A = this chain, B = another copy of it.
Amino acid sequence: MRIVVLGSAAGGGHPQWNCHTPASLRAWREDDGASRRTQASIAVSADGERWLLINASPDFRQQILATPALWPQRDLRHSPIGAVLLTSGEIDHIAGLLSMRESQRFDLYASERVLAVLAENAIFDSLNPEYVARKAFALDQPLDLLGLRVTPFSVPGKVPLFMESRSAGDLAGSAEETLGLCIEHDGHRIFFIPGCASMPQSLRQRLRGAALVFFDGTLWRDDEMLVAGVSQKTGQRMGHMSIDGAGGTMAAFDDLDVARKIFIHINTTNPVLNAHAPERAEAAAHGWEISHDGMEISL
């Protein structure tokens, strides 16, 4: 199994287009080794030729340009991307579909809930139904996708931001709103969970003994965006648990026997983005890596 991290940042990327904090300034200027990051998405392949794209970020085109394995390889029109799977209907997970035009065959997998969001927005008619098959999956039912066994499951989360005003106050939404994925191939079992609001016992059980987990690294602490002065929202309000603290992700994973733990979907305010920050060292001491755009993993 080959995995490429196409993008490692949370919604808006790093820096966000209108963010002028000291951390963002370093990214704008690419000062002091600070790297810019595109929005979270990974590609996974069983054979190195056909790739499953997991989430289609607004930075899709830039991510493809940066990843030779995903360049067209033959004929006049071609893409190694054979299928796309969406873990939510949030903009940073679906907007890249608008760049996957025109007349290129691939299968698009999502929950009924997320497919309904796409169907309600005519702009996604840009995915010509003669070429793109939209396939609903059921939770906890394994799919055979390009030689990978992929099982979507519900995690605690939130409706997409742009749907909040239409959700009648139910921000948590349905069980299909926010998903994690288990991906299995050749005896390896990995997880991709870019957004998760809390860690119920059922999720802990599921993750035990995994070879690799990509996990929600949005915030270091719940009130981080308020303290930075860039937003009034807590992590909980956004549907994200935080890395640090008694109820945080590091503590939740401490006895889970996961071989490799990698934070992804990292917000522009998160101090772990700074390689010299003590929080980065603390995450490393707990066995966590910080993903970066272009990170490649073979299992």
Contact = CB atoms under 8 A, between A and B. Distances in A.
Contacts of A259: none
A20 B73 contact: yes
Contacts of A78: 18, 20
Interface in A26-74: 28, 36, 38, 58-62, 64-65, 68, 71-74
A19 interface: yes
A187 interface: no
Contacts of A60: 17
Chain copies in the assembled complex? 2
B98 A91 contact: yes
A296 interface: no
Contacts of A17: 60-61, 64, 72, 79, 99-100, 104
Nearest to A13: B61
A274 interface: no
A109 B125 CA distance: 24
Contacts of A125: 162-163, 165-166
B75 A162 contact: no
Given A229-B76, A230-B76, A122 B20 contact: no
A12 B76 CA distance: 15
A122 B162 contact: yes
Contact of A91 (B72, B76, B123, B162): B123
Contacts of A21: 76
Nearest to A74: B20
A126 interface: yes
B126 A18 contact: no
A36 B18 CA distance: 25
Contact of A20 (B38, B61, B64, B75): B75
A228 B38 CA distance: 33
A124 to B, nearest CB: 8
A100 to B, nearest CB: 7
A60, A65, A79: residue with the most chain B Cβ atoms closer than 10 Å: A65
By CB atoms of chain B within 10 A, which of A13, A74, A228 has the most? A13
A121 B95 CA distance: 13
B98 A24 contact: no
Interface in A196-225: none
Q: When A and B form their complex, which 10 residue pairs have the shortest distance between CB atoms, in order from nearest?
A: A20-B72, A126-B162, A18-B79, A18-B104, A125-B162, A121-B121, A95-B98, A121-B123, A62-B62, A76-B229
